[in-house]
């Protein structure tokens, strides 16, 4: 087996780093920075200190604060239009996965011709984009260290993955203080997105020893810290562990890709606008149960990493503990345990199945998966049936 492990993004981690963004960008050669963020980040008071730091270091900047959830091709092109009004040499993304994915799309389109959706798929981008520095404000997407951006095609409600080594951010600044005041439901949804990345990456058919090491440690860190981050909120230590684990899971899945949870959750997001992390969390136990026969030893590892007692159990029995531990975690974090509660309508099943099968993530899912399997997983997740 031939595999490569490449993580070109420089990661700086520490409390207060966001307020030093100007210092880092200046050292990296920036002079004129295009800042991509959203109104929520501005209103939460997170943008001001970053802009002050740019000013203190003599950097020019322009702010695009119209990032939308599940960023569309149109929102990327709108940002691109604003970027084109004056020369910029770096893009600074401040926000959750949507802001970072939008920034990555703008960065690529600043240099390449055509439309962002022309580049759907793997390795379709001809030239590197503008350098992106990402400052995540949630511990979830891992987008600050990944080679992909997810862009919604509003005409087809399809979330397209654009994947290329040219999309890796140049640097990520991980500042746990930015996540201290995250609302509980966002801590839960984004944290479960990160856990899904870690679990899907660990069991992916294309996982490597490098990616598995990052993924299983991320499972351990998220399992050990998500409750405290959710219930206490301003506990910096658990917030830091979540932020680092989220980036580690991102590093893992940018090598291994993901699996059936993301194949299905992207279509649930595109069609029903269910928040990405919530859709993942609700689907995760059902996909784990489906995958269990294909990778019981790895599921046992996940059970151990989540703190389950597995002494004397067979790998399959231990793997079932992992499935139920994730379902229990959803309950603790007040995330619905079935797709019915999330407003999914099974009339859309043919489109959901077709779009999920179009995702490259199905190909690396540990258990062989065809359209009828996707349909069964969705039906089980809809009914809350964890028995098969």
Positions in the binding site for Fe ion (CB under 5 A): 193
CB of 143 to Fe ion, least distance (A): 9
Specify the residue, 175 or 193, whose C-beta has the smaller distance to Fe ion. Answer: 193
Task: Please give the biggest Cα pair distance in the chain.
Answer: 65
Nearer CB in complex with Fe ion: 130/229:
229
Closer of 91 and 258 to Fe ion (Cβ): 258
- Min dist CB 45 to Fe ion, Å, is 27
- Closest approach of Fe ion to the CB of residue 193, in Å: 4
CA separation for the pair 271, 38 (Å, rounded) = 23
Q: How far apart are CA 150 and CA 309, in angstroms?
A: 37
Number of C-alpha atoms within 13 angstroms, CB side, residue 8?
A: 12
Tokens of residue 64, six digits: 């695009």
Tokens of 127: 């030239």
d(CA 27, CA 21): 10
Residue nearest to Fe ion (CB): 193
Report the nearest approach of Fe ion to the CB of residue 281 (Å).
10
- For Fe ion, which is the closer residue by CB, 88 or 197? 197
Nearer to Fe ion, 101 or 193 (CB): 193
Q: How far is the CB of 257 from Fe ion (least distance, A)?
A: 11
Q: For residue 183, what is the DSSP state?
A: -
DSSP letters for 117-168: GGG-EES---S--S-EEEEESSSS--GGG-SEEEEEETTTTEEEEEE-GGGS
């Amino acid at each position: 087996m031939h595999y490569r492990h490449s993580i070109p993004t420089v990661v700086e981690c520490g409390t207060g780093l966001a307020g030093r963004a100007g210092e880092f960008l200046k050292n990296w050669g920036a002079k004129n920075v295009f800042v991509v963020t959203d109104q929520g980040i501005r209103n939460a008071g997170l943008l001001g200190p970053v802009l002050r730091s740019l000013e203190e270091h003599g950097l020019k900047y322009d702010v695009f604060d119209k990032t939308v959830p599940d960023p569309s091709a149109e929102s990327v092109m709108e940002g691109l239009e604003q970027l084109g009004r004056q020369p910029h040499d770096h893009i600074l993304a401040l926000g959750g996965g949507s802001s970072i994915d939008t920034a990555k799309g703008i960065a690529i389109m600043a240099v390449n011709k055509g439309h962002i959706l022309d580049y759907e798929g793997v390795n379709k981008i001809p030239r590197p984009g503008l350098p992106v520095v990402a400052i995540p404000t949630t511990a979830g997407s891992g987008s600050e260290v990944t080679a992909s951006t997810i862009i919604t095609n509003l005409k087809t409600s399809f979330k397209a993955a654009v994947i290329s080594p040219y999309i890796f951010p140049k640097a990520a600044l991980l500042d746990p203080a930015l996540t201290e005041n995250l609302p509980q439901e966002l801590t839960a949804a984004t944290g479960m997105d990160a856990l899904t990345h870690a679990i899907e990456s660990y069991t992916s058919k294309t996982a490597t020893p490098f990616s598995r090491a990052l993924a299983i440690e991320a499972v351990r860190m998220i399992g050990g810290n998500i409750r405290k981050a959710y219930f206490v909120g301003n506990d910096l230590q658990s917030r830091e562990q979540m932020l680092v684990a989220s980036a580690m899971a991102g590093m893992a899945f940018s090598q291994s890709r993901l699996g059936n949870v993301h194949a299905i959750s992207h279509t649930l997001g595109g069609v029903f606008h269910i928040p990405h992390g919530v859709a993942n969390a609700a689907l995760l136990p059902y996909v784990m149960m489906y995958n269990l026969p294909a990778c019981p030893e790895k599921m046992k590892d996940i059970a151990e990493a989540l703190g389950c007692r597995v002494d004397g159990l067979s790998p399959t029995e231990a793997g079932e503990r992992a499935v139920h531990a994730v379902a229990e975690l959803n309950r603790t974090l007040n995330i619905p345990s079935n797709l019915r509660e999330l407003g999914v309508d099974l009339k859309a099943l043919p489109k959901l199945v077709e779009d999920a099968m179009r995702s490259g993530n199905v190909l690396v899912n540990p258990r062989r998966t065809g359209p009828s399997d996707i349909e069964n997983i969705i039906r089980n997740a809809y009914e809350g049936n964890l028995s098969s």
